[in-house]
């Protein structure tokens, strides 16, 4: 399945930005070269989370598992371009699945563990998925059983496979025991895997993943990415983190989107490194992993970094001598945070901005040694007249555009939408031509939906100024306000509703539902809305409102559109918060 037009492929290949090696080629070469070297390990708290002992695989052991998974895909009837939906917490099996897909041409569509029937049915229907891979449980949630209960609403799905926990409880009748099936499957060797790639004519321009992102549309959008599109992003992460061959990492981001895959799979693969899985985020487990392993690179939210600095006893006795870079983003970074990590531990913090679509900026010590600048600005890459050290700075083009007039902004102090073009940017949303058309402007630039302004004494920086997309970003997960609003409007006691982001120190934002009750004399309670969405809407837990505000009417413009900026200001004044969320 090649979705990038041939003209773009030819251009990027001619410039040396894209190549012919697939992820499968790189993996098999690496596994043959260092079969006994550590590759991946499970979170140490895996037994409590989803059963079975934590595993630790070498590259050779991982190759064996990839060979089994590839052979099983073939035996089950999966073919090139078939789609499988994968809902798993971060674990070693994810590497086997992704790499087996990279070798067989099967497309993997990963979804967060928080997704429930509302989202999973939509993803499976949109991709016409042939199968679903999941786990028997996560905590007390019986994941496989819940997916089995949706089978009638998944007409294209032929198989549901599940890993089992250690309780020996039976799987639902409709669910196949993936552990048992893999145990009975004879693994393909290198020769068979390479021969299969050649037989199906797999290329580096074939789609590997379809990830899901939310924006102004009411439902999530599928973002397909090819081997080449992923590999160039991975190279950017390596450059920003200054990772060396054999780099050891702890990555707590979910292995389902740009933030997780670009590091846990791409940077890991390109450095032939070692990855210690972590998920969901647990500060105690995170520190344990830093303490027990010699780590070269990790990532953490600004709130976590702040917590570690304000409670230095948490890192007392932890050997951080090899940890030179930490990636962060998804919220404002304070300059003191960058200064203190450098002074106390000799660790530089990288400021990231990015999206599943491939729009990305990074402020690194290479380009911004001043921590004050790095915390507040990003390099104005892709604009003539500025030279940057970042490896991809000459491969991307950016432009800042006035959202009202469509005119390009060239002077500082004026806010506009940042737009991107280049080999990292996706080619369009999966099976959504109309949404794709709206996502790109007349010059072929991707409309990021994020607001920036030009800054710096030489106008050399971009400064993040907010979003023009109607989304809430909770802990790095994008939530479509329109989607939650449409679900809440079906509640019998809700006449009108608007969803906005509410500032949160740890997660960045939480979902706030501003409700106009149907009966002004009756208050609508948060608990009843949450119960309704959970039981009737069956939506992912991270989309559930965590705050409710009641109003007599929503502020609107003359044509009836809800003025969310005004609404945020009203809520700020009501709660006496210092800063509204734009």
| pLDDT tens digit sequence for 65-90 | 999 999 999 999 999 999 999 999 99
Vertex 303 angle, CA 302 and 309, to 5°: 90
Instruction: Return the pLDDT at 579.
Output: 44
Instruction: Please list the residue range(s) of the chain that carry CATH number 3.30.300.30.
Output: 471-575
* Rounded CA separation 540/548 (Å): 18
Give the three-class secondary structure for 572: helix
Burial class (CB in 10 A: 0-12, 13-18, 19+), 405: exposed
Instruction: Return the pLDDT at 215.
Output: 59
Write the CA distances from 533 to 138, 381, 507, 526, integer angstroms: 20, 42, 21, 11
Vertex 89 angle, CA 330 and 470, to 5°: 35
The fold of the 471-575 domain, in CATH, is: GMP Synthetase; Chain A, domain 3 (3.30.300)
Instruction: Please tell me the class of the 21-202 domain.
Output: alpha beta
Instruction: Please list the residue range(s) of the chain that carry CATH number 3.40.50.980.
Output: 21-202
Instruction: Return the pLDDT at 345.
Output: 93
Where on the phi/psi map is residue 330: left (φ > 0), alpha (ψ -120 to 50), or beta? left
* Rounded CA separation 304/253 (Å): 13
The model carries a pTM of 0.84
Please list the ranges in the chain whose pLDDT falls under 70.
215-218, 331-332, 468-469, 476, 557-561, 575-582
């Amino acid at each position: 399945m090649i979705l990038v037009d041939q003209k773009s492929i030819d251009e990027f290949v001619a410039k040396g930005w894209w190549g012919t090696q697939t992820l499968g080629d790189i993996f098999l070469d690496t596994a043959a070269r260092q079969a006994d070297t550590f590759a991946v390990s499970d979170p140490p708290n895996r037994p409590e989370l989803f059963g079975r002992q934590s595993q630790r695989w070498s590259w050779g052991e991982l190759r064996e598992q990839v060979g089994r998974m590839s052979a099983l895909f073939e035996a089950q009837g999966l073919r090139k371009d078939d789609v499988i939906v994968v809902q798993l917490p971060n674990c070693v099996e994810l590497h086997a699945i992704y790499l087996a897909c990279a070798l067989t041409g099967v497309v993997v569509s990963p979804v967060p563990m928080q997704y429930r029937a509302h989202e999973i049915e939509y993803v499976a229907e949109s991709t016409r998925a042939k199968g679903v891979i999941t786990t028997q449980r996560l905590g007390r949630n019986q994941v496989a059983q819940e997916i089995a209960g949706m089978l009638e609403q998944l007409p294209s799905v032929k198989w549901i496979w599940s890993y089992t926990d250690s309780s020996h409880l039976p799987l639902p009748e409709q669910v196949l025991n993936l552990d048992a099936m893999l145990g009975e499957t004879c693994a393909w060797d290198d020769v068979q895997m390479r021969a299969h790639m050649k037989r199906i004519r797999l290329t580096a321009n074939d789609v590997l993943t379809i990830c899901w992102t939310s924006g102004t549309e009411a439902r999530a959008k599928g973002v397909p990415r090819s081997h080449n599109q992923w590999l160039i992003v991975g190279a950017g992460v390596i450059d920003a983190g200054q990772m060396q061959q054999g780099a050891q990492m702890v990555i707590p981001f979910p292995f389902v989107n740009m933030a997780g895959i670009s590091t846990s799979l791409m940077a890991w693969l390109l450095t032939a490194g070692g990855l210690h899985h972590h998920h969901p985020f647990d500060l105690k487990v995170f520190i344990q992993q830093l303490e027990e392993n010699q780590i070269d690179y990790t990532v953490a939210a600004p709130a976590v970094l702040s917590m570690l600095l304000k409670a230095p006893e948490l890192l007392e006795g932890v050997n951080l001598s090899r940890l030179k870079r930490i990636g962060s983003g998804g919220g404002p970074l304070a300059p003191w945070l960058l200064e203190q990590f450098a002074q106390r531990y000799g660790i530089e913090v990288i400021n990231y901005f990015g999206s599943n679509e491939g729009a990305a900026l990074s402020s690194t010590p290479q380009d911004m040694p001043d921590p004050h600048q790095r915390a507040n600005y990003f390099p104005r890459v892709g604009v003539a007249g500025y030279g940057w050290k970042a490896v991809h700075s000459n491969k991307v083009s950016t432009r800042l555009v006035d959202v009202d007039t469509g005119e390009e902004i060239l002077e500082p102090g004026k806010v506009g939408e940042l737009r991107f073009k280049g080999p990292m940017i996706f080619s369009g949303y999966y099976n959504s031509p109309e949404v794709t058309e709206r996502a790109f402007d007349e010059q072929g630039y991707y409309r990021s939906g994020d607001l920036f302004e030009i800054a710096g004494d030489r106008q050399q920086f971009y400064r993040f100024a907010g979003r023009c997309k109607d989304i809430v970003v909770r802990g790095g997960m994008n939530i479509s306000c329109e989607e939650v609003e449409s679900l809440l409007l079906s509640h019998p006691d809700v006449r009108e509703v608007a969803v906005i982001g509410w500032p949160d120190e740890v997660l960045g934002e939480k979902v706030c539902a501003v409700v106009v009750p149907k009966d002004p004399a009756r208050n609508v309670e948060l608990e009843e809305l949450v119960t309704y969405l959970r039981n009737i809407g069956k939506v992912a837990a991270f989309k559930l409102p965590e705050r409710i505000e009641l109003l007599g009417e929503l502020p609107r413009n003359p044509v009836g559109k809800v003025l969310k900026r005004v609404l945020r200001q009203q809520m700020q004044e009501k709660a006496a918060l210092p800063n509204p969320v734009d």
